[in-house]
Structure 1
């Protein structure tokens, strides 16, 4: 591995390393409105629903791609669509592949020069429901695990090279994760300011990785599997923490997808080499999106 490549890989993994430590947010600004004020509001047919999120919401390949979504690659069978169909809601889905939490409040720049408007622009005073799911791209979770950890495994398949490298700068990693929670808090408050009558729900991430051993669909070192599992867990815990801090609802996708990781006999997440055409590598299969939609229906009911 070249020195430059090693430095770049180290930087990415150091960020993910902080996920093992947990975090807590404490933004300075007071919320302009109570984000949790509408958590018991009934959702009715015809209500206006806005979905904010990253690729785990856009869910590329889980259905036909919405041509209007351009480089965001939104599926016409993702959980926002499924939820809208189940409850007869008027949907505006602005989820976008590659979105960090910054993309919620600022334009997202895609490769090729295209610029995606800030997702918050879809939220108006007439919005009745908003779901939010983002944060993993802020710390390059999947890029570090499936890129960096896989590369390091080639030289030490039985060890824990990814874990060892990530622990070199835990303080920075902890700070980065805290920033994710602060960003989520800012998004929740921005939604409440623009749509004070909207019910706000944060949607967590699924159990993408196993907790014990690797497989062909997760070709990382054996000793790095617990690290990958815990890193993914800590990212979704940040969403839960932000939801609790602001008094809004949280959908626990993690628990609902237990036993369906990339190495399981019944995976709901595609692995490194998907054998099916309805899932993109390390992203949801339709089963996961249907499960999320069902969880949201149960929450909103």
Structure 2
């Protein structure tokens, strides 16, 4: 009986030790959202990332004398950014320090200079955990090509984008060789054959025919190819946001706003991600970084805007949205 009792106690002790080791291992391998994590994340992108208040951004870009934006409105290196955009929601969902260097009208060539600037400012360092890029859409816009070579061929643009993404990767890896590099794709904007600009009647979006599937697939392929060429991970937000486009008949689940829009979730910029859309993109990018226990829902502070319009930020100026450490 004594030997049996001894063996029983031994088995219980071994089981307890194994269980403790398993708990510790699980804690090491699965990051817990909303808890402080080591190493910052740096984000680069165009207006589908920055998405600043449309009126404030217009005044900042105006050649006419205009009042400056509010001192507490996020801005990094001269570029305004929504307090509800996906980089800030990524910080909220993961507990990571996120430095947002996105900028409205950014194209891939112009982004290279901002990467240099971020490195000079000590934002990208050997301890940087990840860098996320979301650019390419403006590469197809003639007005934006003054930041790089003027080309008209889609194939040439895609090859140029891939080359520039390799340059971006080289710049980051020269400083942060261990950082995870991620390309965050664009969300679905059209339903494939139309874009819905008008949202006046609940759950009845109105729009015009548009070959959206062709255009969006072209940009999606370019981003995917650029990521592969540079050895980066690719987050296919187009596929992950399917059915939440401007023509979604469920107002509460629309990820991209219209132009005349009074029914979509709150947003800062017309025909850009709603705050809910930014939440979904943040969640998809968080999962790419290894945070599996996150939801696509927007936190309460990102739903606090009292109107669905480009003025939503001023209507909710009391929001407690987390500010990127790169904001100044």
TM-score range, shorter chain: 0.5 to 0.7
Residue of structure 1 aligned with 2:283, choices 283, 294, 298: 294
Q: 1:192-219 CA deviation, whole Å, 9 max, x = no partner?
A: 2221011111100011112134544485
Q: What RMSD over aligned residues (CA atoms) do the two structures have, in Å?
A: 3.1
1:15 match: none
Q: Residue 75 of structure 2: SS of its match in structure 1?
A: helix
Residue of structure 2 aligned with 1:229, choices 213, 217, 221: 213
2:236 match: 252
Q: Residue 182 of structure 2: SS of its match in structure 1?
A: strand
Contact 2:161 2:226 in 1 (8 A): no
Contact 2:82 2:268 in 1 (8 A): no
2:175 match: 194
Contact 2:196 2:258 in 1 (8 A): no
Residue of structure 2 aligned with 1:73, choices 65, 74, 80: 80
Scaled by the length of structure 2, the TM-score of the pair is 0.60
2:124 match: 123
2:42 match: 50
Residue of structure 2 aligned with 1:282, choices 261, 271, 280: 271
Contact 1:207 1:261 in 2 (8 A): yes
Aligned-pair distance for 1:271?
A: 1.8
Q: Which runs of 5+ in 2 are unaligned?
A: 1-28, 55-69, 145-150, 199-205, 291-328
246 and 172 in structure 1: CA distance in 2 versus 1, 3 angstrom threshold: closer
85 and 74 in structure 1: CA distance in 2 versus 1, 3 angstrom threshold: same
State the distance in 2 between where 1:183 and 1:99 align.
13
Residue of structure 1 aligned with 2:222, choices 209, 234, 238: 238
Q: 1:5-59 CA deviation, whole Å, 9 max, x = no partner?
A: xxxxxxxxxxxxxxxxxxxxxxxxxxxxxxxxxxxx9877132111111111112
Aligned-pair distance for 1:279?
A: 3.5
103 and 88 in structure 1: CA distance in 2 versus 1, 3 angstrom threshold: same
Residue of structure 1 aligned with 2:109, choices 102, 106, 110: 102
Higher relative contact order (CA 8 A, sep 6+): 1
186 and 209 in structure 1: CA distance in 2 versus 1, 3 angstrom threshold: same
> Are 1:178 and 2:159 an aligned pair?
yes
Q: Residue 92 of structure 1: SS of its match in structure 2?
A: strand
Contact 1:133 1:202 in 2 (8 A): yes
Contact 2:162 2:227 in 1 (8 A): no
State the distance in 2 between where 1:186 and 1:216 align.
37
Q: 1:172-201 CA deviation, whole Å, 9 max, x = no partner?
A: 232123212221222122212221011111
Q: Which runs of 5+ in 1 are unaligned?
A: 1-40, 109-116, 144-169
State the distance in 2 between where 1:76 and 1:137 align.
23
Residue of structure 2 aligned with 1:273, choices 260, 268, 274: 260
300 and 141 in structure 1: CA distance in 2 versus 1, 3 angstrom threshold: farther
Q: 1:68-114 CA deviation, whole Å, 9 max, x = no partner?
A: 34752211221111112222212211111111112222269xxxxxx
Scaled by the length of structure 1, the TM-score of the pair is 0.65
State the distance in 1 between where 2:240 and 2:46 align.
20
State the distance in 2 between where 1:59 and 1:130 align.
19
Q: Which has the larger Rg? A: 2
State the distance in 2 between where 1:298 and 1:107 align.
26
Aligned-pair distance for 1:286?
A: 0.9
